[in-house]
Every structure is written in structure tokens, then in C-alpha cells.
Structure 1
Amino acid sequence: MHKSPADAIARFTDLLMDAVCMVDVDGHFVFVSAACERIFGYAPQEMVGMRMIDLVAPADRERTLAAARAIMDGQPNSRFENRYVRKDGQIVHIMWSARWSEADQLRVAVARDVTASKQAERMQYTLYAISEAAHASDDLPALFQRIHHIVGAMLPASGFAVALRDEQGRGLRFAYHAHPGGDAAPHTLAHWLGEEVLRGGAPVLLTPATLALAPPPVRAAAGAEPDCWIGVPLTTTQGDIGVLLLQGGDAPGQAGYTDQEQELLTFVSSQVATAIHRQQLNSRLRFMAQHDELTQLPNRRLFLDRLQMALARAQRHQGQLALLFIDLNKFKLVNDEHGHDCGDELLREVARRLRHCVRESDTVARLGGDEFVIIVEEVLVADDALRIVEKIHQALAVPMRLADGVSLGATASIGVAHYPEHGDDIHQLMRQADQAMYVSKLQEVHSN
């Protein structure tokens, strides 16, 4: 008995790598070829009778229905793309070629799975964007914000965090943390997950099911319906420098990240780690170029920049500022009698005490040797600077415990210049402060 041509065509379509689908006027599948099971995860007999739109990713449904209406109005479409949700929950990208059969009252379409090419495009774009972010960001906070935007566009995430190893390499410091709830501090669960990732040196996917392995405080912090989390190590050629953490989805208790998404994030994390490491090196180089190596205070170059900006602010707001020149007395004797290591330690301690004598917004810098300078902004009266001078004398007089049991106090000659009283530019103020400091030193000599 000969079978009909339609039966033969049905058998032939099962040989195709692309899927052939027929949808009736009400949007139900009436025929699907065998390839549908590979692409969508449903057996043909499962799909027949299902509503086409129910399988489309929610974000793509409106434009999919619009495209279907256009096809039914006689406008064939050969390159329409949308996303479907497979039976296992994973997303597939589909390119459709479809037309309407008026005689059969059916929409006939061929579906091609373009997920791999879409992922390749997305990966290429992501890597390029991360590279661009590394070059365009002036500092780490700016880089973290850019990476958050890039990774957030690639994977669903309601929370995002970057945790870096501390300087001793023993613990984690959350350098960036963004959560829709606006939490000021990272979640207890995030801390624990970050430590687990670094301990194992591999990605960790945390779901409501695997949360049972976490310590009781972590489970309690996660709540009754915890979100899915994923943590991946940030690895460079020097080793793991930190952890990238994503809190997934908008709905508590969701299924979580797929293996595909985990692999994608793991690959991207190496590029993120390289970008962060490069920015850390650049930040360190900038710091070294602008700060004194011994005391970590701003050096002459950064001091002059800050003084110029402070003057501009004072001129703009008709304010006042004070400039203090500080020279340690008889510092050479410390080096001669106790050695340069002891002298270096004393300079570091002097720098620390000077910082505590002024506000955080003021600038303490080291010009070199035993010379320090302080910029005090928003000075209301001259006595404000004199009070700081007295505070410095008192702070330096307290004996400093140095190496080998040495305990030394210190005295300093301090000169003060005021803007606008003593000048309205850098050179005038520095000359006045230097002269005042020299007078102070002469007085110190004569008093002894």
C-alpha cells in the first residue's frame, strides 16, 4: 500500500537538522519534526497541542505575536529571531523562516537553533567591553561599576559583588557590592560563599538545595526562601586575587543558574580578573608616583597640585587657608647616633602623628628629608592655625618607641603662611611659610 506524499514529507523532515513546525490559527502546534526535541527539549507528541506562545521567553512574547500576525496577513518572514524556554529551563535562541498557508490555515515555519552563534557574539562583545572598561576606568570603583553593567547585561543578577584578597592574602575585602535592597554591607551568605570559592579555587553554585551544607548562621541569614548565588574565582597568572559573586534572579527560590551560564561566567571571570589586576597595578603606580615611599604621605608633586586646588577653592568662595612648613630639629643627630633605620622609623611615626593633628580633608605631605607641609583649608581666623601648631608640638613631644628599645621625643620648627594675608599664589605662600619656619628655627637655636 502506497503512503501519501504528505506522509513521505513528514518522514523526510525528521532528517533535517532544523525543526519544521506547523501552527494553527489559534497558535497551537499541530505538527513538529523530530529535530524539535533536540532544540526545545520536548518530544514531538508533547509539543503537539501546546500553545506556541507558552514556550517563548516572556520578554519576547509581544513581538513574537506581532510577527505571527504579520505572517498570517501574508507577509513571510525569513529571519525572525526570538528566544524559547526549553523543557529543562534553559534559553535557546531561534531563527525562524515562516509563511502562512491560506489553503491549510496553518503557519508553516522552519526553526534553526542559533544559540551557539549568539553566545559567541555575546562573549566577543563582553570581552571587548571588559577590555574597554579596563582602559577607560580611572580607578577600581569606576571599573567595578562598568563590569557590573557588562556582566549584568550578560547574565540575570539581582545582586553583584567583587571581593578581593586583603593585602596579607588571608581574608576577603568586599571592594564592590550592589544589591537592589540597598544593603550597606554584603550579605553574610556572600562572605561565606566567597571564602568557599577561594578555599576550593573553583566556582560554587549555591541553590536552596545545596544551602543545607552551609553553617547554621549562613542558612539563617539566607532566609526561608533564599535566592540562587554563584561565585567564581578571579584568577590571574599570580593566582586567585578574589571572587566575583552574583545573586540570581528576581524571584526567591528560583531554579538558579544553568551549567551554560556558569561556564560563561567562569570564562568571563578570567578577563575580569585581568582587568582588575591591571587596574590595581596602575593604581599602585599612580600612588607611587604621587606619594613618599617611606611615609606614604603625598609627595611634593601631589602637594603642589592640592595646594593649587585649595587656593582655587578659597578664591572661588572668598575663603581662607593656612600653609604650615614643618622642619624637625636636630634630626641628623638621630641618624648619627641611632642609625638610619631608627631615623626612618621616627619619620614614619612623625607622619602618623601629623595626620592625627588635622582633619581628614586637610593635606599632610613630605617634601623630603625631615621637611613636612600641611594645607589647612577653611581657616576662619589666624588662631585656628596656631592651635594646630601647638597641637603638633604636643604630639611630637610624646616619646616615640622606636627599634631596639630607643625612645625619643621630637621638636619641630614650624612656619605659617595665610591666604590671602601673605599672598595669593603658591610661590608667595611657600616663600612666606619657609621664611617663618626659618625664623622659628633661629628662635629655637637661640633659646638653647
Structure 2
Amino acid sequence: MNAQTPALMPDFADLLLDAVFMVDVLGRIVYVSAACERIFGYTPGEMIGRELFDFLAPEDRATTRDEAKQVMAGYPRIGFENRYVRKDGRRASIMWSARWSEADQLRIGVARDVTKRKHAEAMQAATYAISEAAHTAGDLVALFREIHRIIAELLPVAGFTIAMCDAHTGRLAFPYPLDDQADAPAEQEAIASRMCTDVIGSGQSKLLHHRSPAALSDASASSGGSASWLAVPLFSQQGAMGALIVKSRAGTFYTEQDQELLQFVSTQVATAIERKQLHAELLRMAQYDALTGLPNRRLFHDRMEIALARNRREQKRVAVLYVDLDDFKRVNDLLGHAAGDLLLQEVSRRLTQCVREEDTVARLGGDEFVVLLEHVPLPGDAAIVAEKIRSAVSQQASIDGQQLRMLPSIGIAFHPDHGDDAEQLLKHADKAMYSAKTVKVRGSE
């Protein structure tokens, strides 16, 4: 090494892709190479004299302080990773090699930018996590909550929402909140709604921030101008199904790289939502009657078994009402099955209005319905409900311009009086219903 070598060291350091730091015992930066501007966004002049911790991400300060103590105690550290806040507000992931110079009383460290590698790892992890969430989330809201958490690990997110678009009406719904802490929630929702409309209509993502104020109305610029908004469309196999919108933290602005990232993630999100919607629809079809929307026989049995188990513990009465429409076949024969379907839907609506929210009305098939009444104090209470049903169903109904009047036959069974399980109670109520129907037929002869 000749006499010129020490003088040339700063020039050599400035050629490195990694940034070289020298930090004194008080944590102040006394030297940093030129690579700091590419990695952190600050020039050497902006960093020298300041504490290195001033640039550190708050959540990494405790672990970094411990690492610094180890270095100053004479233990070199290689491969330690932490995060810093760049000048533009974004996070930079750094891998360090550091040692302590006792003679100079300085920490000497080399900072390698591993942001892209960490980003790629995070993207891979996000793809897997979103796919897993589609299988494990109990419902759509739970799925949205998990997607929110996953995306917040990729981007600085202050607000997050998913908008769903009704394929038939085009109406937007926001099933997951944007920003519960927003100072002006109405204005925030207005911005999100406009962005949703734009990205769903165009099929293209959209990025807004304070450098494009013309994109926002004057009314919303004051609240939306200090942060970025990023919206990407969500596509199903049938077309645009909605949009995903994120709002950055105050003073932090999204970039085109963030836009590309969210577009990539949106594909996984849309697939997860579509899968969850399909699962929910299959579950609904398995448990609910397609014509009336009432619980079907299977779901009614499930609810009945739960009610009976609770009734055994609480020693209270449960009633089952079996409802059959007299001469319903005549409606189908005279007016057609379409009119018969409309009549069944109207009967379903009336039955539901006759019971409490905690009770269950189900369609077993054809013109047969059952009602589960829980917590029935006296047998006469079930008879009152039966009479209410009889009166409601017997009212005339206007179907395809025809005034129709149906008379129901109703049978009642009680637990534990008429059986200890769902099957026994249904059989008893069915038998009681046919007895009531027979009495009416004989009375009309």
C-alpha cells in the first residue's frame, strides 16, 4: 500500500454498490459513502452529523440497539437485517456487516440494500398467504381482514377497502371499511367511490397523490392531497367484480412499483374472493330452498337438533308446526307452474312474518312448510301462532292478475310430549296436519 492509498479510500468507497458508514460512540454518522443516496434517498451531506437511529424504522430500534451494543463490545456482526425509512417515506431493507474500531472509537459498517430480495420473498409469501386465506377464512369479511393484513406487510397502508360491484345493477358496495380513523370519512368514501368507478370501468389501475391534484375535486383535495391513493380492479372469470383500494400514510406516496405490486396481488385477491363466493353459494344451495330462500329440510333438521339439545338442558318446550296448502295442485293445473311458484314465494313471505326472528320457517318441498318455535311456555302459545299463520295464508293473493285464496292445514307437535328427536316430532306434526286436513274434507262433504 503506497502513500496515496489512504487518500484514495473515499473514492474507492464511493464506487461500491453498498454504503459504507462510520458511526461514533454517540451514534452520530461521521462518514458515509455516496451509495447512501441510492439506498436511502439522502446525500452524504444530509446524513453526516445526524444519528443513524434518526433514519431507522421505529419497530426495529430495540433490536438494532442491541446489535450496536454487541458490535461496540468487540463482536463483529455479519448478516444482521433491519429497516430504514427512506427520504421518500418508503422502507428500505438493509443487511449489515459491522465491526468496532477501538483505535478510532468508531463503528464501521457496510449496508447492503436487500429491499428487492425481501420484496420478492414478501410477494411469494403474500401469494401463498392469500391462497391459504381463501381456504381457511370463515367468510368473506374474515377473508378481507386477512388480505388487509397481508397487503399491509407489503405497502404502507393507512386505509384499505374492497369494493364489490353488483353484476346486474352496477351498484358498488363496501363490505370492508376504508379507514375507521379518517377525519372526513364521507370525503374518503367519495374519493374511493370515484376511483372504484374509474378502475372498474376502464379495467386499469389508478394512482393518485398530491402531485396530481386535478384528478380530485376541490372538495376532496384537502383531505386526500397529503397521501396517495391506489386502486386496482378485481376481475373474475365473468369480468370486473370490484376493486381494491389502499390509502398511504400521511406524507408517504405510492410509486409505480407499488402499483405493479398491487396489480399482481389483485389477481390472487380476486381468485380468493371468487373461490370464497363460490363456496358460500354452494353452501347456501345445500342449505336453502332455491325458490323461496327459506331453509331446506337439511338445515331445518340441523337447527331442530340444536334447539332440542338446548331444550333438554333448559327444560323448556319446543313446538313444530307442519303446514300444507290445500288444493295447491289445482293452482299449478289451472294457472301453470310459474304462477304456483309465485304463490309459494308469497306464502313463504307471510309465514316468515308470523314468527319471531329466533324461530325458523323452512320449506320441505312442494307446498309443505314447517315452522320451529323455540321457548314455547304453553301449548296454547303454539296454537296462537298456528291461528296467526292460518289467517295470514288465507288472505287473498294477487298472482298474475288472478286473486287466489289458499287454505292451509296445520299440525302441531311438542317436545318432549310427542317425541325426543327431530324425526319423531316431524312425523307427529305431519300426522296431525293430515288429520286436520281430513276433518276439513269431511266437513265440506
Is the TM value for this pair above 0.5? yes
Cα deviation, 1:70-103, whole Å, max 9, x if unaligned, reads 2122111111211122222221111010111222
Contact 1:158/1:180 (8 A) holds in 2: no
1:319 aligned partner? 316
CA–CA distance in structure 2, aligned partners of residues 141 and 390 of structure 1: 41
1:309 aligned partner? 306
CA–CA distance in structure 2, aligned partners of residues 212 and 424 of structure 1: 71
1:363 equivalent in alignment to 2:360: yes
> Tell me, what secondary structure is at the counterpart of 2:177?
strand
Deviation at 1:215, TM superposition (A): 4.9
1:194 equivalent in alignment to 2:190: no
> Tell me, what secondary structure is at the counterpart of 1:234?
strand
Identity, % of aligned positions: 50
1:110 aligned partner? 110
Q: Name the aligned partner's letter for residue 75 of structure 1.
A: Y
- Which shows bigger deviation, 205-214 or 292-301? 205-214
Structure 2: 5+ residue stretches without partners: none
1:277 equivalent in alignment to 2:274: yes
1:386 aligned partner? 383
Q: Name the aligned partner's letter for residue 165 of structure 1.
A: C
Deviation at 1:411, TM superposition (A): 1.0
Q: Name the aligned partner's letter for residue 240 of structure 2.
A: D
Q: Name the aligned partner's letter for residue 195 of structure 1.
A: T
- What are the equivalent positions in structure 2 for 1:427-438 lying under 5 Å apart? 427-438=423-434
Deviation at 1:118, TM superposition (A): 0.6
Cα 1:380–1:215 change in 2 (3 A) is farther
CA–CA distance in structure 2, aligned partners of residues 86 and 50 of structure 1: 14
RMSD: 2.7
Deviation at 1:124, TM superposition (A): 1.5
Deviation at 1:26, TM superposition (A): 3.3
Cα deviation, 1:21-66, whole Å, max 9, x if unaligned, reads 2223333333332322221223334433333222222322333233
1:440 equivalent in alignment to 2:436: yes
2:23 aligned partner? 23
> Tell me, what secondary structure is at the counterpart of 2:426?
helix
1:139 aligned partner? 139
1:156 aligned partner? 156
Cα 1:20–1:232 change in 2 (3 A) is same
Q: Name the aligned partner's letter for residue 425 of structure 1.
A: D
Structure 1: 5+ residue stretches without partners: none
1:396 aligned partner? 393
Q: 2:409 aligns with which of 386, 410, 413?
A: 413
2:234 aligned partner? 234
CA–CA distance in structure 2, aligned partners of residues 338 and 172 of structure 1: 39
CA–CA distance in structure 1, aligned partners of residues 151 and 356 of structure 2: 39
Contact 1:396/1:411 (8 A) holds in 2: yes
1:92 equivalent in alignment to 2:76: no
- What are the equivalent positions in structure 2 for 1:149-228 lying under 5 Å apart? 149-166=149-166, 168-177=168-177, 179-181=179-181, 188-189=189-190, 190-207=192-209, 213-215=215-217, 219=220, 228=228
Q: 1:293 aligns with which of 276, 290, 305?
A: 290
Deviation at 1:390, TM superposition (A): 1.8
Cα deviation, 1:332-351, whole Å, max 9, x if unaligned, reads 11111111111122112211
- Which shows bigger deviation, 138-147 or 253-262? 253-262
Cα 1:241–1:83 change in 2 (3 A) is same
Aligned residues: 440
CA–CA distance in structure 1, aligned partners of residues 423 and 66 of structure 2: 72
Contact 1:212/1:219 (8 A) holds in 2: no
Contact 2:33/2:44 (8 A) holds in 1: yes
Cα deviation, 1:196-249, whole Å, max 9, x if unaligned, reads 442343334454665664456x639x8598765433322233222122233443
> Tell me, what secondary structure is at the counterpart of 1:434?
helix
Contact 1:232/1:243 (8 A) holds in 2: yes
2:69 aligned partner? 69
Cα 1:208–1:87 change in 2 (3 A) is closer
